[in-house]
Structure 1
Amino acid sequence: MTNRDVLLVTPWERKGGLATYSDYLVSELRNECNVSIFAWDYESLLARGSGQAVFDFALVKSIRKSDVIHVQYTFGRYLLSFFFIALLGKLMRTPVTMTQHERFDNLPVPRLLYLWHQFLYFFVDEIIVHTENRKTIVGAYHRPNVTVIPHGVLEHGDVEREPRDINDILIPGLVRPIKGHPNLIGALNHLPENVTLTIAGSASSPEYGTELKELIESAGLSERVTWEDEFLPEDEMFQRICEADLAVLPYEEHTSMSGMLAHCISWKTPTLVTDCPSFRCVINTEEAFLDGRSSELIADSIERVNNESVQGEIIMEFEELISECNWRRVSQMTSNIYETVINK
């Protein structure tokens, strides 16, 4: 498909999140087709009160020159903008593909948002989601146009990982209320005193950062918790993941697929994740799941995985996932979608 011209509309000129995701995808996609980037780093008019523009007329020229449009869609980023982008695609007979990265049934006015998105899907030729569970965000009428393509995983060559005694625990990534930090911090009180926790990532807001720091201090855990409260460059984050004896991602059950989980998989770092539908669709070993409803339950799961055979099961599962979900395969599956919508 090397002769197809693809316009990728995505956050691009920033660090982390969808910009990093798109960078990994584009690096491989350019072996399959001609990719042009339209950096859509604005927030929508009603997102976070930003008041930024919902449309850019430079898009018109880019859409006219393209065989297919692919929008990396996340709630808020394109709440209003996507309608104009997709409508232009229809008017110019340029097929539109979107990757739906997040759900919205846990947000305010979920029914209204659900209905709005079902309307938007009428302007979309193919919807990509990362897991079978995520198909439920799309109504039955549009579901025939949904394809599951897994979240990509980096290949780092011959990474060797052996089970370890668990002394250093890591929770990587942006620190947000949905990620379960309080219960993980509290779990240290139910684990041996030699077990420490590293939080690698900045707080989503100063208020939440202050709240967590006060929790750490009041629990008497200041000596056992290291918080790198800043954005870590990719190489530094990879170093933290490799150095950790165990990664723990005790996210809330409505979470989407996690980019940090993909990084932990890529380095074969044993990882415990919340037992939720999104992660169940990715990981196929019981050993990797935890119950994050309390600090005691998280501590029990950490003690359970402090075992050579249990860690070995998780490492083997991650090796299979690297083979199945590497970015090369993901880009091939994505380019096949482009060909399908162009030929509809």
Structure 2
Amino acid sequence: MAGIRGILSRQNIAVQMIAEFLGTMILILFGIGVVAQVVAGGPGLGDHDSIAWAWGLGVVLGVYTAARISGAHLNPAVTIALAAFRKFPWKSVVPYIIAQVAGAFVGALLVRWAYNKVLHNADPGLTAKTQTVFSTLPGNGTLPVSLWGGFLDQVIGTAILVFLIFVLTDRLNDPPLSNLTPFIVGLVVVAIGMAWGTNAGYAINPARDFGPRLASYITGYGTAWRDQYNQLYWWVPIAAPIIGGLIGGLIYVTLIGRVLPYLQGTEAPAGRGGEVETPVDAAGGVPTGEQQTGTPRGSRGVIDPTPGGNDPRRPEPGSGFDPGTGRLDPGTRRDPRDPGSGPMDPGAGPNR
């Protein structure tokens, strides 16, 4: 029994990879699925707004799927930003990215299979007309946007995403209750889709683009790696979001995160200013700590800094945390100067 518990432990990287795989696959099933319906299904089956909403809801559902176990990044740009700024272990970055790309790939294959006849009917040659179902193109394959225009768009869009993820998950920043965080991050993705969808299709997630692009290539889209100008474009939705995510994280840490401790009436403890304790995803998240009596540890927002909730720090008596119920006493405020019982953190788990 102990061996089984060890294998299934939330600290097991294989278990975390499975969670990232499934969470990203859920995201893609809704996101790619709605684009297939709108692009290939004919009039009356949706529009740009329905696409944005389905992507956002896909983020919400994908995060709820994975957050307890892995933190639900669902996005390599988020994983890398959290490793750079939020002490996510670098040794876990590559396994997480592999799982995210694999989940996106399998999700896209399922959509490709389900919509096969409709796609061939709408676009017998499997050209850029329906390539946008699976991966992004500058100007969505039709508008006069250059490769570098798409690159700039992705840098800005992903910087916005990661900046707002840090905003929503900094425990010093009055974040939403942890179980609501995935929904709010999903709304962020909806807003980005509605405001930043013209120039490059708001990939803002390397796994979301590369996995489905590969799936489309092996199922008949011979020009999947190029844009409508026949330029190699596949690298743009990989490199630009990673750069944008680092920029967004840096802006938050530099301009907001380091200021918040002073608003608490105290200087930040070493290494804690503006700290977001467990990654999100692309997309938001819910507590990843120990669950007791059916309530996640940190249901008011205290999150462990590593996936699976293996934070060695335990609250001191009187800190407001009741280990018997897994709840925080709302009448007790934590002293932000105490590194063992810091201010509230909204939740684990980023995109889309």
TM-score (norm 2): 0.25
More helix by share: 2
More strand by share: 1
TM-score (norm 1): 0.25
Higher RCO (C-alpha under 8 Å, 6+ residues apart): 2
